[in-house]
Amino acid sequence: MTDIAITLTVNGVVRQVEVPGRRLLSDCLRHDLGLTGTHVGCEHGVCGCCTVLLDGEPVRSCLTFAVTVDGHDITTVEGLAAPDGAMSPVQRAFAECHGLQCGFCTPGFLCTVTALLRDNPSPTGEEVLEGISGNLCRCTGYQNIVKSVHRAAEIMAEET
Amino acid sequence: MHGEAAGGGGMTTKLFGEPVRRREDPRLLTGQGRYLDDLGTHALEAAFVRSPHAHARIRDVDVSAALDVDGLVAIYTWEDLPALLAQPLPLLIPHPALTHGRTAYPLARDLVRHVGEPVVMVVARDRYLAEDACALIRVDYEVLKPVVGVEEAARSARLVHDDVPGNVGAHLVQEVPSAAGLGAREAIEAAPHTLSFRLDIERSASMPLEGRGVYARWDADDQSLRVYTSTQTSTSVRMAVAARLGLPLPKVEVIAPDVGGGFGVKIVHPWPEELLVPWAAIALGREVKWTEDRREHFVSSAHERAQVHSVRVGFDDDGRVLGLDVTILHDHGAYTPYGIIVPIITSTQLPGPYRIGAYRVEFSSIYTNTVQVTPYRGAGRPQAVFCMERTMDHIAAHLGADRTAVRAVNFIQPDEFPYDQGLIFQDGRPLIYDSGDYPESLRMLKELIGWDSFPELKARAAAEGRRIGIGIGCYVEGTGVGPYEGGHVQITSDGRVHVSTGLTSQGQGHETVFAQIAATELGVPLERVSVVTGDTRRFGYAVGTFASRAAVMSGNAIALACRKVREKALRIAADALEADPGDLEIADGEVRVVGSPGAAIPLATVAVLSNPLRYAFDAEAARATQFAGASSFDRPPVAEGEEPGLEGRDYYSPLRSTFASGMHAAIVETDPLTAEIRILRYAVVHDCGNLINPMIVEGQIHGGVAQGVGGALYERMVYDEHGQLLNASFMDFLMPYATEVPFIETAHLQTPSPLNPLGIKGAGEAGVIPVSAVIASAVEDAEGIEIDRMPISPSELFDLRRSAG
Ligand code: FES
Ligand code: FES
């Protein structure tokens, strides 16, 4: 199988990589680029663990072939913190509200919620539920994740 | 080992009991977690050819077409395995009643007994290529007729294992007569009222979002093996690997890295892959890794819950249970690697918080051609509580009494502890409840959910054309089963405290709660404590994280180890301060003379003093060298009976389990047209003794209730008559999202356990246990139709309505 050279901007850094056409974006990020923060829970598009931001929009990286995003901008969980390493409001809110247990689903939630709050900085309860309803968590029972999203909105409001 | 009473220890830095934020979070929130598949970047990868048939004889395996795959490294079948590894996998928990225990071979030998059983292992440069090769391997099967469904299997002439008559793996009866010596059946006959009914629960599964995985490295120079595995029990995997690969135990290290949830399924060991991957790593002299994919997890790991129960109960006019007789058919799947723990737990935890006049329970554990059954969070208790609580509801309905009143007359009273249920529990020890306050728990729950005012609410809803119902479920949960756990604590000369324990963590926050315990016991700030779990290099003796035992077992072991270190620190400090150890306290990382503010010595310095050195490699060490002064020439540098260093190790081994308890209630609404079931409110009163970290305990409850909601309304494994699992994906096996899980209101009751120094009980599984019973009770209340099988879907409720007329 001939590999295809692609260029991605991942977390602000231009990365070049050669991948087979069938390489999933999730595998490319995790195994070719060493960004293992993006997790794979089902590889069939249901759990949301593998969610990353593609040009700012949340996508399932397990349903995306790496070659199809050649030239695009990708943000993974590793890219959510500020350049100085300070955690983003969403990350801080999850820590504050016990929004994670095993942490396996967490990167997907963080990316989803980051995009959600960018588009809607003060979501209602319903909008929060709707916003995270594409991500499975087997540990937390969601209550603290919901709380984290509201808290993140609050932190963002306080800090702007 | 000690058995001190609760309390104890001069606690100055009071972190025990505080909702301290989790210390594992920064790592996990920034993508710096290290889960199994994050390791071994350059490892070869394995994939498996698994049986597509539920029951078949393997006639031939033809690998020739696969040999051309670019990047292929090796292909193995059963015949390639060395003698030790070619044996059936161990039967981990034998039991006298398990007369026909059977386990699988690591790779199938001649026969496959469920879809998904591994037949061939392929190792290649990466997983894509390994799967390419798998796809080209031709296995010739003679397909046999499978046995599917527990009742079918119990009746069937067809056998899962040729040498297991009637497909019965185990059969066990336990009977506790009444105070007057009456057997349960006699007591039921003699009772003023009797009822009989049948209760069913479907199969579900742990389904952690991270599947299983193994990564192994062989060091040929050192002749040693390191295995990383996504397990709930690294020490036992280590022993299994050493035993089955014929390696000396000290040459095997096993590490559980960050684990993405376990919920029971990762306690099974060794999984075939946990032996095969390390063996391949040795055989090939290369790092080898296997990461389970989701379909593999559905068809080749383990399920639980499926049981059929026949209940017969006799009671008096107040609803007091005089006799209870339960017969259980347990579907064990194709193998019994984990013994019969699940039906044992169901049968012994069934009486719950109640004093049962006379109790008889009998179970048969039946083989079927489906994935094996091993404990899933709650482990047999959701079924037990479903039986007992449905029974209470039936009694109340029969008598026209309030459901909580019937429960209340049966409660064991607070002054009756310790209460002996007269049964033998899962650990082979008597089932004796240590403490609890069930009437208070019920009072709190009724208040929290508004039980007494519900009828008005219901009437108001009815007037609007809405159907709502309320349900309740009570449980007692044996937690903190033995045999033991250990803890090691070391204070180094920089004043840091290093804690290690052998049991593992799968997201429960052990790094945090164990650090809280150590910081409290040693009087040091939390930031100075680090915790390592599940790494056999740091602590080799352990049992594992399951059965809500981690905090009770390792927590107490760590507290005891800390107390040893503390005592030593006080002794050394007393010498240095020329004070009596009894006049000293430790606070903020310093040993102080109580009441004289100036006289103090940092723990770091005590650590330096504890270790006489020859070499000065840094400033602290320089202060401890033999020329640093203050040595006495009539004593050896390390006194007799002493050891260098400020460290301690201790073990906690309980007499028996401790019994947590709780009660849940829910209000549900059912749609008159669509039969959709919505949970409007969910309330939990929970008693796990002293709380180490209330935030973490609540998190455990939330997660448990969510899994319970899944079990009550959505999750089921759908097998067809050919033994094919029809819903082996997240598209088809439904687990709740945020939109399906209600807000959970919680209240804590704390009845400390008298059995352990910290007075704690386990909290890991509680949330899940009564949910099916609660939802069934509430739906029944809303609909006025008996609910005797769970989970219940809208279409099933719709059908029930139709047949109810
Ligand atoms: S791994 Fe991509 S959605 Fe589950
Ligand atoms: S925290 Fe474990 S799956 Fe969400």
Per-residue pLDDT, B14: 73
Give CA angle at B444 (B758, B425), nearest 5°. Answer: 50
Per-residue pLDDT, B3: 34
How far does B765 lie from chain A, in Å, by closest CA? 11
Amino acid at position B502, single letter: G
Q: Tell which one of A28, A39, A40, A54 to mutate to probe ligand 1, the residue whose CB is within 8 A of the most ligand atoms.
A: A40
Cα of B730 from ligand 1 centre, angstroms? 10
The predicted model gives B454-467 an average pLDDT of 97
Set of chain B residues whose Cβ sits within 8 Å of the Cβ of A2: none
Q: What is the mean pLDDT of chain A?
A: 97
Interface contact A98-B507, CB threshold 8 A: no
Residue A139: which of B29, B703, B729 has the nearest Cβ? B703
pTM over 0.80: yes
The predicted model gives B647-669 an average pLDDT of 95
B551, B517 in Cβ contact below 8 A? no
Q: Which residues pair with B255 in a beta bridge?
A: B228, B535
**Closest atom of ligand 1 to CA, residue A63:** 2
Domains assigned to chain B: 36-144+212-259+266-300 (3.90.1170.50), 172-205+303-481+655-804 (3.30.365.10), 485-652 (3.30.365.10)
Amino acid at position B112, single letter: V
Fold of A4-79: Ubiquitin-like (UB roll) (3.10.20)
Interface contact A102-B729, CB threshold 8 A: no
The predicted model gives B156-181 an average pLDDT of 95
Fold of A89-159: DNA polymerase; domain 1 (1.10.150)
Contact partners, residue B17, CB within 8 Å, separation at least 6? B690, B691, B692, B693, B694
Per-residue pLDDT, B8: 35
Q: What is the mean pLDDT of chain B?
A: 94
Residue B11 has pLDDT above 60, yes or no: no
Amino acid at position A113, single letter: V
Residue B250 CA from chain centroid, whole number:
28
Residue B295 has pLDDT above 60, yes or no: yes
Confidence band, pLDDT 50/70/90 cuts, at residue B631? low
B24, B516 in Cβ contact below 8 A? no
Taking the C-alpha atoms of residue B48 and residue B517, their distance in angstroms, rounded to an integer, is 44
Closest CA to B481 of B764, B694, B767, B268: B764
Q: Tell the residue nearest (CA) to atom 3 of ligand 1.
A: A45
Closest CA to B607 of B494, B510, B770, B730: B494
Set of chain A residues whose Cβ sits within 8 Å of the Cβ of B696: 98
Per-residue pLDDT, B4: 35
Confidence band, pLDDT 50/70/90 cuts, at residue B2? very low
Set of chain A residues whose Cβ sits within 8 Å of the Cβ of B744: 141, 143
Taking the C-alpha atoms of residue B174 and residue B362, their distance in angstroms, rounded to an integer, is 6
Helix axes B403-410, B438-449, angle to 10 degrees: 170
How far does B701 lie from chain A, in Å, by closest CA? 8
B558, B514 in Cβ contact below 8 A? yes
Residue A145: which of B37, B38, B738 has the nearest Cβ? B738
Residue B1 has pLDDT above 60, yes or no: no
Residue B50 has pLDDT above 50, yes or no: yes
Cα of B484 from ligand 2 centre, angstroms? 28
Interface contact A42-B294, CB threshold 8 A: yes
In whole angstroms, how far apart are CA B337 and each of B106, B211, B212, B372? 12, 19, 17, 8
Give CA angle at B702 (B700, B708), nearest 5°. Answer: 100
Taking the C-alpha atoms of residue B650 and residue B658, their distance in angstroms, rounded to an integer, is 20
Total residue length of chain A: 160
Amino acid at position A146, single letter: V
Residue A136: which of B38, B698, B735 has the nearest Cβ? B735
What is the ipTM metric for this complex? 0.98
Q: Is A19 exposed, middle or buried (0-12, 13-18, 19+ CB in 10 A)?
A: buried
Residue B5 has pLDDT above 70, yes or no: no
Cα of A22 from ligand 2 centre, angstroms? 28
- Residue A29 in contact with ligand 1 by CB distance below 6 A: no
Does the N-terminal peptide bond of residue B483 adopt cis geometry, omega within 30 degrees of 0?
A: yes
The predicted model gives B113-142 an average pLDDT of 98
Residue B28 has pLDDT above 80, yes or no: yes
Q: Which residues pair with B685 in a beta bridge?
A: B663, B747
Q: Lowest-confidence range among B17-26, B49-58, B229-238, B422-431?
A: B422-431
Neighbours of B724 (CB within 10 A): 17
- Strand-pair category, B321-333 with B359-367: parallel
Closest CA to B518 of B529, B532, B508, B527: B529
Closest CA to B803 of B781, B787, B779: B787
Taking the C-alpha atoms of residue B62 and residue B754, their distance in angstroms, rounded to an integer, is 62
Per-residue pLDDT, B7: 36
Confidence band, pLDDT 50/70/90 cuts, at residue A1? low
How far does A71 lie from chain B, in Å, by closest CA? 24
Provide the 8-state DSSP code for B293.
Answer: -
Give CA angle at B21 (B18, B24), nearest 5°. Answer: 130
Q: Where exactly are the structural domains of chain A?
A: 4-79, 89-159
Interface contact B31-A38, CB threshold 8 A: yes
Tokens of B755: 């059995």
Tokens of B434: 């240590």
Taking the C-alpha atoms of residue B490 and residue B90, their distance in angstroms, rounded to an integer, is 36
B557, B533 in Cβ contact below 8 A? no
Q: Could you report the per-residue pLDDT of B397-454, keeping only the tens digit for each?
A: 999 999 999 999 999 999 999 999 999 888 888 999 999 999 999 999 999 999 999 9
Q: Tell which one of A30, A60, A111 to mutate to probe ligand 1, the residue whose CB is within 8 A of the most ligand atoms.
A: A60
- Residue A141 in contact with ligand 2 by CB distance below 6 A: no
Interface contact A95-B737, CB threshold 8 A: no
Cα dihedral: A99, A103, A106, A108 (round 10): -160
CB pairs under 8 A between A and B: 171
B603, B491 in Cβ contact below 8 A? yes
Cα of B624 from ligand 1 centre, angstroms? 56
Which alpha helices (DSSP H) does A67-134 contain, by range? 89-96, 106-119, 125-132
B108, B119 in Cβ contact below 8 A? yes
Q: Is B2 exposed, middle or buried (0-12, 13-18, 19+ CB in 10 A)?
A: middle
Closest CA to A114 of A94, A96, A100, A97: A94
